[in-house]
Amino acid sequence: MDTMKLLLVDDNNRIRNVMKNIYSPHFEEVIECGDGAEAVLAFNDSLPDWVVMDIKMKTMDGIEATEKIISANPDAKVIIVSQYNDETTINAVKKAGAIGFVSKENLSRVIDLIKGESK
């Protein structure tokens, strides 16, 4: 993969650290945010190649943040990660414009999605 920038969004520091450990070898830079509103601002500031976004967060959830990011930046590549993988959630993820959905039980799949999309 070319040198790339990742925006990592999760309100749980422990999970964010786990994800950072998994993903950082694949990215030149990892920017971290704790909620969706922060992520929208960080995206516009840093224009990352990829966003890995949690859904359930306090100020602004990941679905709304993804919609805002993609409406302002149609080429943005967002992957949603969540422990909620019911049909309603997955449909909301698709409607928001995310490239993919990964269950938090299978976080390493994010790299497979990124490698598949980057070809």
Q: Do 90 and 55 form a contact (C-beta atoms < 8 A)?
A: no
- What mean pLDDT do residues 27-42 have? 97
Quick one: which of 6, 15, 2, 12 has its CA closest to 105? Answer: 15
Residue percentage of the chain with pLDDT more than 70: 96
- Model confidence at 75, in pLDDT bands (50, 70, 90)? very high
What is the model's pTM? 0.94
Amino acid at residue number 103: S
What are 38's two structure tokens? 């922060």
Q: How far apart are CA 96 and CA 119, in angstroms?
A: 23
pLDDT on residue 116: 87
Per-domain boundaries in the chain: 5-117
Tell which CATH architecture fits domain 5-117. Answer: 3-Layer(aba) Sandwich (3.40)
* Residue type (1 letter), 29: E
Tell me the three state secondary structure of residue 114.
helix
Q: How far, rounded to the nearest angstrom, does the alpha carbon of residue 72 sit from its chain's CA centroid?
A: 16
Decide the pairing of beta strands 29-33 and 50-54: unpaired
**Per-residue pLDDT for 7 more than 90?**
yes
